Each structure stands twice: as C-alpha cells, then as structure tokens.
Amino acid sequence: MNAAIALPENERLIRESELEALCAGVEGIDARILAAIIKRTELVRRIAHAERTAGRTTSSYQAELAVVDRFGSLGREGLSLGRLLNRLAKT
C-alpha cells in the first residue's frame, strides 16, 4: 500500500497566512514525531539492557523484523524508516 497523498486538481491558491499556518502545523507534527522517536529509542534501549541484565540470550531479530513490517505499510521508504528506527536504538 502506498501512503502517497494526492492533492485535488482544482486546489485553489493558498494565501500566505494559510501557507504559514500549514507550515507551522507540519513543524508541530515534526516536533511530536521527533519526541516520539527519542522516547521510543530510550524504551528500546532500556528493554535491551533489562534483557541483558536478566541473562536473556534471545535475539531481537524477530522484534526488529516486526518494526520494519509495521512501517512497511508506507512503502519502500517506510521499510527504510523501520530499519532506521532499529539502528537508532543500537547507537
């Protein structure tokens, strides 16, 4: 499934104030996404530390595949995003 969003062909011209509001909305979403990624990374690192401390030897490979699969619904770039999230947790 491709998550591309198409604009209507008859989209009217956007006033400068509307454009600024749209840009501000995107910046707000970006800030929330970044905060969520930071929190997610912290949680995954804590999980990995707890598993190591408990002596678990199970691989996180299946969990990493599940992450990639979840973001795969966004298409090829979503797969890349899932892989990137996995890498962020390991750095």
Q: What is the pLDDT of residues 17-34, one digit of tens each?
A: 888 999 999 999 999 999
Give helix 16-53 / helix 76-90 axis angle, nearest 10°: 50
pLDDT at position 11: 63
User: 21-75, pLDDT tens digit by residue?
Assistant: 999 999 999 999 999 999 999 999 998 889 889 988 666 788 899 999 999 999 9
Q: How many other CB atoms sit within 10 Å of the CB of residue 26?
A: 10
- Host H or E run for residue 70: helix 61-71
C-alpha to C-alpha distance for 43 and 34, rounded to whole angstroms: 14
Residues 6 or more apart whose Cβ sits within 8 Å of residue 41: 85, 88, 89
Question: Would you state the structure tokens that stand for residue 4, as one six-digit string?
Answer: 């591309």
Give helix 61-71 / helix 76-90 axis angle, nearest 10°: 140
Q: Is the pTM of this model over 0.85?
A: no
Query: One-letter amino acid identity for 56?
Result: R
